Structures are given as structure tokens and as C-alpha cells.
Amino acid sequence: MTIASTRPRSSLAAAAAALSLSACAATLAEENGALDPFHPQVYASVHGGPAAVTGVDLELVDIDAVKRDELDTDLGGTAALAIGVHLSPSWDIELEAGRTDSSGEIPAFGTFAEFDADFSWTAFMVNARYRPHPGHPWGPYMGAGLGYATAVELDLRRAGEGPIGIDGRDSAAVQLFLGAERTLSASVLGFAELRYFRSLDSESESYRGVVNGVTESRLRPKSTALLFGLRYRF
């Protein structure tokens, strides 16, 4: 009787030990990501915000004077779309297309009346993003991009005359950004970002005025933007 009653107890003890070991193994596997391996995800994002724009150098030649100055621009704006791949918890790579617009004025000079101006460009960029602390509720990130600026345009207008259009050449461009993102749902993230953009070299074609001498310009788009956006992971 003693031997017979011991065997069930031994079996129960062995089963309990096996379950305990299985639970420990599952816990360790989960902590190490073995039960939930990372899979790269494709995502799309849309973002935009205000931008401080610079980079328009002008030379105005009047009858007896020459003025060289930078266009005094008002606060402009940037809007962009991107599609990319979430390669790992820390790294993204993406393709981005965006446009920046701003307006400004050139004060009266000599026989020149005041000009109003519109300045804009389109940029196509390849960006890389790095998260030093993935999984944080407000996850900080940093990144950089390389691409080119195109459709660089400066339109000058003044009373009594038609618009003067000056087209810049396409040029290489770089950008740096620093931001933070927050998970809003299983697929959607919101983010805020400070971004600096610079066209490396873009020279305009010169424009020769009909009445008031010569207007020449050098267009090298630069902007500092505060962007807000959403990122959707498919």
C-alpha cells in the first residue's frame, strides 16, 4: 500500500516540476523576444509645419547704385509625404517628397519700387532615423537625409509690372532632424520634429530688367522647420 500510494505523488511532483520549468523557459524566451520576433514593417507618414526660410541673395543695380541683400522672408511652411521601412526597433529608412513655400519683400531702392516675392522649392530625400531608446512612451529619435532640391522658383512682383520669374538649378541637398514620437495605437504614431534643410549649391539664371537696370540673384534654399505628423505602419 505504501509503494502504490507513493507513485501518484511522485508523478504529480514530476508534472509540477515540468510545468514550473516550462513556465520559466517561456518567461525567459519572452524576455529575449523568442516568442515575439521583430518583423520589418512598411510605413507611410505625412507631416508639415511652419518653416523659417532663407537663402535668396539678390543684387539690384540701379542707375547710380548697387544693392546686394538677402530677401527678407516671412514665416513659410513645409509639407511632405514619406514611405519607408521600419527595419528594427531602432532604425528606419525612408523616401520623402516635400515642398516648402515662403513669401517676402524687397524694400524700395533708388528708382526701384518695392517688390513682393514668393520663394519655393521641392525636395526629394532619402532619410535614415535612429531611436536610442526604442519602446519609450515618448521615444526620442534623430536622423539625417540626403537628396536634391528641384523646382527652385523666385517670383518677384511690383505694382504696374508683370511678375518676374527666376528659376534656380537643381542641386544636392542635406537635412538633419531631431524629434520625439508617441504610439497612439497599434499602427499609428504621432511625432513632433525640428528639422534643418540646406541646398548645397543652387545658382539662379540672371534676370535683366527692362527699365530699372539689372536684377541678379543666387538661390540656395535653406530652412528650419517645426514639423508635426502621423506615421502609419501597415
Q: What is the pLDDT of residue 121?
A: 94
Look at residue 115 and tell me whether its pLDDT is greater than 90.
no
Q: Which residues are CB-contacts of 39 (< 8 A; sequence separation ≥ 6)?
A: none
Identify which of 24-33, 94-103, 197-206 has the greatest average pLDDT.
94-103
* pLDDT for position 67: 64
Handedness of CA 37, 43, 46, 47 (dihedral sign): positive
Contacts of residue 110, defined as CB under 8 A and 6 or more positions apart, other chains included, come to: 60, 62, 63, 64, 65, 67, 212
Q: Is 162 helix (H, G, I), strand (E, B) or coil?
A: coil
Euclidean distance between CA atoms 144 and 155, whole angstroms? 30
213 three-state secondary structure: coil
Question: What's the pLDDT at 44?
Answer: 98
Same domain, 110 and 16: no
The answer to whether residues 135 and 23 belong to one domain is: no
> For the residues 38-67, what does the mean pLDDT come to?
82
* pLDDT of amino acid 34: 44
The residue ranking higher by pLDDT, 129 or 36, is 129
Higher pLDDT, 20 or 177: 177
Q: What is the band of 158 on the pLDDT scale with cuts at 50, 70, 90? A: confident
Regarding pTM above 0.85, the answer is: no
**Alpha carbons 130 and 94: distance in angstroms, whole number:** 12
Same domain, 28 and 51: no
Shared domain for 33 and 142, answered yes or no, is: no
Strands 164-167 and 207-208: unpaired
Residue 33 and residue 69 share a domain: no
Q: Which residue has the cell 533708388?
A: 110
Between 206 and 113, the higher pLDDT residue: 113
pLDDT at 62: 59
24 and 48 belong to one structural domain: no
Any idea what the CATH number is for the domain that residue 107 is in? 2.40.160.20
Q: Are residues 59 and 12 both part of a single domain? A: no
Q: Lowest-pLDDT range, 75-84, 96-105, 200-209, 220-229?
A: 200-209
Q: Which segment, 16-30, 157-171, 176-190, is predicted with the most confidence on average?
A: 176-190
